[in-house]
Amino acid sequence: MTPNNMLYRQERNPQRHRFIRSDQHRTLAPGTPIFQEIEDLRNALQFAVSLEHFTIPPYLCALYSIHEGTNAEAARIIRTVVVEEMLHMTLAANILNAIGGKPHIGGGKEPLPNYPHEMPKIATSFQVNLLRFSKDAVNTFLRIERPAAPTKTPKSGQFRSIGEFYESVREALRRLDDKEKKKNQKGIFTGTKRQVTNEHYYGSGGKLFGVYNLDDAEDALDEIVGQGEGIDGSIEDGDGASFGDDVEYAHYFRFNEIFHERRYRPQDKPGDAPSGDLLRVDWNAVYNMVPNPKMSMFTDRPGLHQKARAFNRIYTKLLKNLHNACNGSPEILQEGIPIMHAMRIAAVDLMQEPSGIGNYTAGPSFEIVR
């Protein structure tokens, strides 16, 4: 571990939902797809980048639709989750870079999502929509982040859950690195020059770090999985309570607090609904954004269409910035900050204009434009 990594990871809050990770070789559940060769693993990590990316537009739509100055707590929760998803995306890109791959963000090997869309590769039966902040939206977020094992039987090539997918990634990293180390000291970790680290990305709370070896890669996976979904659905109770001021909750539980409009108490169990203080939510203090906006909805309104396209141009610019940052120019990540702010402003402008479709206003469609 490089000294840089040690510094920042020591400063992270140690009290987090720790999903059970064994340092021994765990066996994957029978039927879990395996990433056989290094190229399969690289593709898998590219998929991880795309998967994290996929969750961001729905979260942002909900966040942007909240009237400024209202729902402060809910907005803060969603905003933190977005920041963490971007962190996950970058960590996945770091791992991919480290094992000699090239991340694609916003094009190339990354399939362009078209909402509504099912979660790719995960055995689920729900669609992910671009919705204004609402119970429906939060319910979708819960299902995306769900740690509980689903009951649906996965098809061939599908995973039961996101956690299971990352477990398979972990297995492949260990197996392939181990095999490669017999020939070459670095193992599979040959591409460590293009890492994006904490100094390039402020606001990550010290959680972003470069990946230079298997330990780092596993820590990166811990970071991704620890904040997101669990492996087998349980949370380590350990010494601390599952909930409380000192614990950083997995995304699922933060969304659950919004959904039930209550906070967790330390004595709540993960399977319970939160039973603590009220968390004030005003479901009406939102823009009435049309579900799943598309530029094509506004072709008969040239001014609106132009604005919808303008948002997408800014979004595309952000993806290009992230892509370049993860492909050898991490220092330009800083230029992404004004782009993200401009995105928000353009999105709210759209949500303030009537769409011409019923009572709905327009909204950002997150389409990539060339």
Partner 1 sequence: MPNNNLITEPALKDIDPDLPIFLDLSSKLTGYSADELEQTGMLETYYCMLMKEDDQDGIRAFLEKARQVLTGADVDDEIKATFIDHTPYEELAQRIILMWYTGIWTTMNQKDMKPAQARTAMISAKTYQEGLIWATAETHPAGAKQPGYASWERKPIPRFDHIVELR
Partner 2 sequence: MEQYDFDAVIVGSGIAGAVIAKTLTDAGKKVLLLDAGLELGMALDGPQAFQNQMIYLDTFYKALAKAPNSPYPKLKNAPSSDVLEVQPVEQMDHKSGYFVQKGPLPFGSDNWVGPGGTTQHWLGTTLRMLPNDFQMKTMYGRGVDWPFHYEDLRPYYEMAEFEIGVSGDVADQQRSLPNIGADYFSSGYEFPMKKIPQSYLDYQMMLELDNKLEVCDPYAAGTYVVRCSSTPQGRNSEPNPEYGFERVAWDRNGQRLALTPRQRAGYMPVGSLWDPYTGQRCEGNAACVPICPVQAKYNALKTLKRAKEANPYLLEIRSQSVVCEAIVDPDSRRISGVRYQRYESDESRVCREEIAKGKVYILAASAIENAKLLLASNAANSSDQVGRNLMDHMCLLTWGLFPTQVFPFRGPGSTTNICSFRDGEFRREHSAWICPIDNWGWGWPKFSPGSNVEEKVANGTFGTKLRTELNDDLTRQILLHFECEQDPQPENRVTIDPNYKDRLGNYRPVIHYDASDYVKKAFRAAKLISNRIFEVKKITDRTKYWASDADYWEFDGWGYTSRGAGHIVGTHRMGNDKSDSVVDPDMRAWDHKNLFLAGCGNMPTLGTSNPTLTMTALAFKSAEAILRQLED
User: Residues in the site for partner 1, rule: CB under 8 A?
Assistant: 68-69, 129, 131-132, 134, 136, 202, 284, 286, 288, 291, 301, 303-304, 306-307, 310, 314, 334-335, 337-342, 345-346, 348-350, 352-354, 358-359
Query: Which residue matches tokens 């001014």?
Result: 303
What is the spatial distance between Cα 51 and Cα 273, in angstroms, rounded to a whole number?
A: 27
Q: Helices 72-98 and 214-227: crossing angle, nearest 10°?
A: 160
State the binding partner of 34 from partner 1, partner 2, none, CB within 5 to 8 A by kind. none
When asked if residue 205 is in the footprint of partner 2 (CB under 8 A), the reply is yes
To 5 degrees, how large is the angle CA 264–CA 268–CA 271? 100
Question: Smallest distance, Å, CB 201 to partner 1?
Answer: 12
Minimum distance between the CB of residue 349 and partner 1, rounded to whole angstroms?
A: 4
Query: Counting contacts by CB under 8 A, is residue 107 touching partner 2?
Result: no
203 part of the interface to partner 2, by CB under 8 A: yes
CB nearer partner 1, residue 276 or residue 354:
354
Residue 232, Cβ density class (10 Å: 0-12 exposed, 13-18 middle, ≥19 buried): middle
Site for partner 2 (CB under 8 A): which residue of 39, 179, 202, 282?
202
Residues in contact with 200: Cβ distance below 8 Å, sequence separation at least 6, in sequence order: 208, 325, 330, 331, 333, 334
Residue 276, interface with partner 2 (CB under 8 A)? no
Give the shortest CB-199-to-partner 2 separation in angstroms. 8
Q: Is 111 in the site for partner 2 (CB under 8 A)?
A: no
Tokens 């950002």 label which residue?
A: 364
Q: Which stretch binds partner 2 (CB under 8 A): 121-129, 196-204, 282-290, 295-303?
A: 196-204
Interaction partner, residue 7 (partner 1, partner 2, none; CB < 5-8 Å by kind): partner 2
Q: Compute the distance between CA of residue 290 and CA of residue 95 in angstroms, rounded to an integer.
A: 37
As a whole number of angstroms, the distance between CA 132 and CA 136 comes to 9
7 touches partner 2 by CB under 8 A: yes
Determine the Cα–Cα distance for residues 287 and 291; give it in Å rounded to an integer: 11
Binding-site partner at residue 205 among partner 1, partner 2, none, CB < 5 to 8 Å by type:
partner 2
> In 114-250, where does DSSP find H-type helix?
135-145, 162-181, 214-227
Number of residues that bind partner 2 (CB under 8 A): 10
DSSP-based three-state secondary structure for 95: helix
Our finding on whether 69 is near partner 2 (CB under 8 A) is yes
Stretch that binds partner 2, among 69-77, 93-101, 295-303, 313-321 (CB under 8 A): 69-77
> Taking CB within 5 to 8 Å according to partner kind, which of partner 1, partner 2, none is near residue 291?
partner 1
Nearest distance in Å: CB 5, partner 1: 24
Q: 354 in helix, strand or coil?
A: strand
List helix spans (H) across 11-134: 38-65, 72-98
Comparing CB distances to partner 1, the nearer of 147 and 364 is 364
Supply the DSSP string of 301-325, one letter for each residue: -HHHHHHHHHHHHHHHHHHHHHHHH
Nearest in space to 200 (alpha carbons), one of 330, 341, 339 = 330
Residues in the chain: 370
CB closer to partner 2, 79 vs 109: 79
AA identity, residue 203:
G
- Least CB distance from residue 335 to partner 1, whole Å? 8
Of 72 and 112, CB closest to partner 2: 72
Using CB under 8 A, list all residues that contact partner 2.
7, 69, 72, 76, 199, 202-203, 205, 338, 341
